[in-house]
Amino acid sequence: MEKATLGGGCFWCLEAVFLGMKGVSAATSGYAGGYVANPSYEEVCGKRTGHAEVVQIAYDPAVISFRDVLRVFFAIHDPTTKDRQGADIGPQYRSIILTHDTTQEAAAREVITELTAAQLWRNPIVTEVVPLTEFWPAEPEHHNYFARNPWSGYCQAVVAPKVAKFRKNFSDFLKPAHGA
């Protein structure tokens, strides 16, 4: 298993998508990219820690490649808005890839170059690519949030459409349905 750590807005959205992706055995919401040890959700939302809301996934590279993980990542958030995803505003919502090694860094930069050349967005990609120094898991109430709270307003308005977009556009990356 390998790990990828990505931030693209609220971690509940990314976690819900990646938990449905074949080859992914775990997706953990947390914080990274900042300078405060073991931050709380309130501290990160207070914009004084430097951390982004991220999800760290464990995936099997024999089933899904890091590049494919990144293709899904870029498709489910807007990588052209600095410190913002929709109504979620602040540095904790920035687009960021926290690399685990130089191979991931090179792949991330290559995928960004490919996507830039494809001109999928009007504005340039502002996604940060930085080495991961530390990942801090979020508090338990943030883990598996969408599955536990599917009818909450935020989940219905923000998370569910991203999950639906993933399912529609990346059907070949979906985990098999239970009992299939």
Q: Which residues are catalytic?
A: 10
What tokens appear for 135 in the block? 């990942």
For the chain, helix, strand, coil in percent to 5 are 40, 25, 35
Q: How open is the CA angle 21-172-135, to the nearest 5 degrees? A: 25
Cβ proximity of 138 and 30 under 8 Å: yes
55 backbone φψ class: left, alpha, beta (φ>0; ψ -120 to 50): beta
The per-type count for the chain, helices as H runs and strands as E runs, is 7, 8
Query: What type of residue sits at position 97?
Result: I
Distance CA 97, CA 115 (A): 15
As a dihedral over the C-alpha atoms of residue 5, residue 8, residue 14, residue 18, rounded to 10 degrees, the angle is: -50
